[in-house]
Amino acid sequence: MNQPTTTRATESVVLLDEDGRAIGERDKSAVHHADTPLHLAFSCYVFDGDGNVLVTQRALHKQTWPGVWTNTCCGHPGPGEPMVDAVRRRLHQELGAAVSDLRLLLPGFRYRAELDGVVENEMCPVFVATVDGDVRPDPDEVAEARWEPWTTFRAGVLDGTREISPWCRDQVAQLPADPTSAPEASYDELPPAARP
């Protein structure tokens, strides 16, 4: 199993053109603002063996969507970092989690959203995985985390009764009814900057 890469002292994100090709990089701390450039990211939904999904509340001091409930984990691959390595790294950093069966389900997901003058503007492939062992959320990243039955969580997101981040809402609408058994998408469908 691949091990997460070492945490960077400063984290850079990959800037993209409209076709998903890399056109540069920028320090993560400087990329999110009122005119956020299009950049590469990812989302991951982690499940346990009983079909529950781990949902997280973003730390209250985060620059983007503080205190908002969302999917298990989001992040940005660094320049030259393989996407699956970035997902594993971020899961380890945020949740102390190791996962198996990491699979790409939505290679072409893209969104733009705004809250309190800060914009997210990402090509954001979506992955699912199964947790191996316990999770230990980092309070600098996660205010709270809890396991919820996927069917209940999905129904609440789709009918609008579950408050959730805008990207999670749109992703859940596109994910299959049972993501844990869905076939993996082709990595050839990723934005060019994210392809192996």
Q: What percent of the chain has pLDDT over 70?
A: 95
- Catalytic site includes residue 124: no
Largest Cα–Cα distance of the chain, in whole Å? 42
DSSP annotation of 167 reads H
Provide the CATH number for the domain formed by 12-175 in this structure.
Answer: 3.90.79.10
Residues 44, 73, 74, 124: which is the catalytic one?
74
All structural domains of the chain with their residue ranges:
12-175
Confidence check: pLDDT of 8 > 60: no
Rounded to two decimals, the pTM is 0.92
Spatial separation of the C-alpha atoms in residues 97 and 92, rounded to whole Å: 5
Q: How far apart are the C-alpha atoms of 110 and 132, rounded to whole Å?
A: 29
Query: For residue 50, what pLDDT band results from cuts at 50, 70 and 90?
Result: very high
**Helices 150-158 and 166-174, axial angle in degrees (round to 10):** 110
Name the region of 16 (left: φ>0; alpha: ψ -120 to 50; beta: rest): beta
Q: Is 52 helix (H, G, I), strand (E, B) or coil?
A: strand
Confidence of residue 63 (pLDDT cuts 50, 70, 90): confident
Q: What is the mean pLDDT of residues 16-43?
A: 94
Name the band, by pLDDT with cuts 50, 70 and 90, for residue 32: confident
So what's the pLDDT on residue 2?
42
Confidence of residue 105 (pLDDT cuts 50, 70, 90): very high
122 is catalytic: yes
Instruction: Return the DSSP state at 192.
Output: G
pLDDT of residue 21: 98
> What pLDDT does 30 receive?
86
| Per annotation, catalytic residue among 94, 122, 124, 168 | 122
- Give the DSSP per-residue string, 95-127: H--EEEEEEEEETT-EEEEEETTEEEEEE--EE
Tally of CB atoms within 10 A around 38: 17
> Residues 163-180: pLDDT tens digits?
999 999 999 999 999 999
